[in-house]
Amino acid sequence: MATLTIRNLDDNIRDFLRQQAARHGRSMEAEVRSILETTVAQQQMRPGHIARKIHKKFADIGGVDELPHPKPEPLPDPVQFAE
């Protein structure tokens, strides 16, 4: 496990964390750890992150950039309504 030291933390932030930790019945350290864990978990669940994981997985086997793309078909003419 790593240790993290945060210097020059604003007193208002420290006081907020202390009060929130007390409301949750845990230490400030446990409160900050919970906040960090929740934030990282939310970031990992973002769609962009999933797309990067999929891209990385397929990059190892040559990627998908060379897959054939179907040629676009022309759109049909729009419907004309008589006036």
Return the CATH number at 44.
Answer: 1.10.1220
- Answer whether residue 66 is part of any domain: no
- Answer whether residue 49 is part of any domain: yes
Q: What is the pLDDT of residues 5-41, one digit of tens each?
A: 999 999 999 999 999 999 999 999 999 999 999 998 8
Domain count, the chain: 1
Q: What is the pLDDT of residues 48-83, one digit of tens each?
A: 777 777 777 777 777 766 667 788 899 898 898 987
Q: Please, are residues 13 and 20 in contact by the beta-carbon 8 Å criterion?
A: no
Q: Please, are residues 41 and 49 in contact by the beta-carbon 8 Å criterion?
A: no
pLDDT score for 57: 78
pLDDT score for 62: 73
pLDDT score for 1: 84
- Answer whether residue 63 is part of any domain: no
Domain of residue 16, residue span:
11-57
- Answer whether residue 73 is part of any domain: no
pLDDT interval class at 44 (50, 70, 90): confident
User: Sign of the CA dihedral 23, 25, 29, 34?
Assistant: negative
- Answer whether residue 23 is part of any domain: yes
With b meaning 16 or more CB within 10 Å and e meaning fewer, what string describes 73-82?
A: eeeeeeeeee
